[in-house]
Amino acid sequence: MSVGLERQNVIYRDGVHGRAPRVPTDFPSLERAARKVMSRKAWAYVHGGAGIGRTMDANRAAFDRWHIVPRVLRDVSQRDISIDLFGRTLPAPVLLAPVGASELAGPGADVDIASAAAELGVPYIFSNQGCTPMEDSAAAMGSAPRWFQLYWSKDDDLVDSLLARAEAISADAVVVTLDTTMLGWRPEDLNLGSLPFARGQGIAQYTSDPVFRRIVRERVAAAGEKARDEVSVAAVKALVSMTRRFPGRFLDNIRSPEPRAAVETFLDIYSRPSLAWSDIASLRERTSLPVLLKGVLHPDDAVRALDAGVDGLIVSNHGGRQVDGAVSSLDALTDIAPVVGGRMPLILDSGIRTGADVFKALALGASAVTLGRPHLYGLALAGRDGVRDVTANLIAEFDLTLGLSGFTSVAEIDRTALRS
């Protein structure tokens, strides 16, 4: 039986026993339900976008401008939605997008997401801003596929250390995110004065890194006796939060300047606004893993990426979190796909909410898509099972959309399946 029908059967069978799905099966209900269980700061960080949210709106509007034109009488009883990507056969053209500070949506978040992804065989792209060291998330996945997402730090030794760790955890690929060399203007967070990293949330890849820890110790030694900051309840809470998240015993850490210095060091060096194409060229010597660039939106940049020898692109505007009024990722894909002409895989990110969205992205030239906020909403509602169910629902809906549109495999989908 197909994955779509199987998933429907599970849900309807549970219904006979009076059990409703733990996570709603449509995005608007999922989002509403997640909002109810999330704190204000968590909601602001996860839901919020840059400026007045125009890029987020554009991401959705772009999908709505395309319509599927189903074909009939083509025997769609046997369907195969698997794809081959970087030497692996994946069960569906879906990956889980990297999400930093994910513990805002549930404790133990990265491990829960990793383990849910592993159960489905869907790759999880570990964020550089993870709340759990990548080694721990990988340990929860067995041999299931995982990738690593890198923010290129100001410190090249740290970059090399992170890349070496990604190789050591058998990541299938490295994704370098290029659109966040600075944090975008995000009013939902700004209006609460809330930045998770300043509380020590989302810096576990750093505090677990030997190079980063050395940098912190050097900075502590160089700073010597520092002037005392203003003491307030909020500042003490933030210090406790940083200390709790720092490796080692809380009681030892609370007397040490390192947890706070780690946050300050992170804020100082986590990204490099001066990043340029020459840095990308040096990646080939830095890692043997396939390299993808995330955040590419202009066809000329796609061509430069090809020239630089990268292995794939994630066409993305970071879920509208960076530049307000930016091009939608789907429109960018329609510009980029023709110039790339199949010479490297394109993964569409930003705005994927339904199985039909996956279908449209593939029809417009994507090899696969990444699922972002929806999996975090599943996490907020039902932990690991929530991530699994949201992802399985999307894949099921894609499988049914594929068949009901008259197709039996991912390779068959092309632009003729759509009209605008």
Please identify, using beta-carbon distances, which residue of 79 and 186 lies nearer to ligand FMN. 186
Please identify, using beta-carbon distances, which residue of 132 and 253 lies nearer to ligand FMN. 132
Give me the least distance between CB of 310 and ligand FMN, in Å please.
Answer: 15
Active-site residue 318, yes or no?
yes
Cβ atoms of residues 203 and 197 within 8 Å: yes
Give me the least distance between CB of 360 and ligand FMN, in Å please.
Answer: 14
Give me the least distance between CB of 294 and ligand FMN, in Å please.
Answer: 5
Give me the least distance between CB of 335 and ligand FMN, in Å please.
Answer: 18
Cβ atoms of residues 130 and 205 within 8 Å: yes
Give me the least distance between CB of 252 and ligand FMN, in Å please.
Answer: 29
How far out from the chain centre does Cα 235 lie? Answer: 30
Give me the residue label for tokens 């995982």. 146
* Pairwise CA distance, residues 25 & 16, whole Å: 17
Please identify, using beta-carbon distances, which residue of 63 and 407 lies nearer to ligand FMN. 63
CB under 8 Å to 226, separation ≥6 — which residues? none
Please identify, using beta-carbon distances, which residue of 50 and 220 lies nearer to ligand FMN. 50
Q: At 169, give phi and psi (nearest 5°).
A: -90, 10
Please identify, using beta-carbon distances, which residue of 95 and 239 lies nearer to ligand FMN. 95
Structure tokens at 163: 């890349």
Report the SS3 class of residue 53: coil
* Pairwise CA distance, residues 121 & 144, whole Å: 6
* Pairwise CA distance, residues 95 & 408, whole Å: 21
| Max intra-chain CA distance, the chain | 78
Give me the least distance between CB of 340 and ligand FMN, in Å please.
Answer: 19
Please identify, using beta-carbon distances, which residue of 59 and 265 lies nearer to ligand FMN. 59
Q: Which of 30, 20, 49, 5 is nearest to 322 (CA)?
A: 49
First CA to last CA distance, the chain:
33
Please identify, using beta-carbon distances, which residue of 79 and 353 lies nearer to ligand FMN. 353
Q: Which of 381, 405, 350 is nearest to 4 (CA)?
A: 405
Q: Which of 17, 298, 318, 375 is catalytic?
A: 318
* Pairwise CA distance, residues 231 & 229, whole Å: 6
Give me the least distance between CB of 321 and ligand FMN, in Å please.
Answer: 6
Q: At 76, give phi and psi (nearest 5°).
A: -110, 25
Counting runs of H as helices and runs of E as strands, what totals does the chain give? 18, 12
Please identify, using beta-carbon distances, which residue of 327 and 352 lies nearer to ligand FMN. 352
Give me the least distance between CB of 103 and ligand FMN, in Å please.
Answer: 10
What pairs with residue 292 in β-bridges?
Answer: 175, 312
Binding site for ligand FMN (CB under 6 A): 45-46, 97-100, 127-129, 149, 177, 294, 316, 318-319, 349-352, 372-373
- In angstroms, the Cα distances linking 283 to 177, 210, 211, 310 are 13, 21, 19, 9
* Pairwise CA distance, residues 219 & 223, whole Å: 6
- Render the burial of 216-253: b for 16+ CB within 10 Å, e for the rest: beebbeeeeeeeeeeeeeeeeebbebbbebbeeeeeeb
Catalytically active residues are: 318
